[in-house]
Structures are given as structure tokens and as C-alpha cells.
Amino acid sequence: MSEASKMESNNQLRLAVYTGSFDPITLGHLNVIQRGCRLVDQLIIGVGINPKKAPLFTPQERVAMIERVTATCCNVKVLTFTGLAVQFVRRCDAHVMIRGIRPLTDV
């Protein structure tokens, strides 16, 4: 497939990314995922890994939990990442980030 064809197919694909630590995944996260996956062709869930924090669950456990609870969403893909969320979104070649309702301190 040529680069032009790849770019054309990527432009037609409605791709979004939802990032977080998901340590653990909550019903609020799941609600955002279920609503988000209905809006796009593919929803990538980015599980952030911060080596400076001591998470409750390992990255592999968090991915497994998310995959288990999103098994009915056929367009969800779960990946891990380190670094800034915006860099992960760019690496995924996405133009949309899905976010839940956040406290005003995040704005």
C-alpha cells in the first residue's frame, strides 16, 4: 500500500484516544469508554505508565482489566505508553482525545 493510500485510509478512519492511569479502571472510566466507542471507528485506550509513581496494579494487570470490561466494544484497542499523553496521541496518528469530566484544577 502506498503512503498516499495509507494517509487516505487514516483520514477516513475516525480514530480517538482516551488516556489515563486506570489504576484501577472505574465505572466512570467505563462509561466514558462505552460512550466514546460509539462516536468513532476505533478508540485506543492508552494506559499511562509513570515510573515515578507506585501503582496499585501493574501495567499488564490494568490492560487485562480494561480488555475484560470492554470485551463487548469491538472497536477498542488497549495499549500502554510512557511520557506525555499528547505524544502518545500523535504516535497513534489520532486527532481526537476523549476526556471525562475533570476537576477545574485540570483546566
In tens, the pLDDT along 24-64 reads: 999 999 999 999 999 999 999 999 999 998 999 999 999 99
Q: Which ranges in the chain belong to alpha helices (H)?
A: 3-12, 27-37, 59-69, 85-91
Average pLDDT (75-102) is 94
CATH 1.10.730.10 fits 3-54+72-100, yes or no: no
Query: C-alpha distances in angstroms, 101 versus 9, 10, 90, 104, 105?
Result: 31, 28, 22, 9, 12
Within 8 A by CB and 6+ apart from 66, the residues are 22, 25, 33, 45, 47, 78
Domain boundaries, the chain: 3-54+72-100
Cell of 57: 496494579
Segment 85-98 shows an average pLDDT of 95
What integer pLDDT is reported at residue 12 of this predicted model?
79
pLDDT (0 to 100) of residue 84? 94
Is it the case that residue 6 has pLDDT exceeding 50?
no
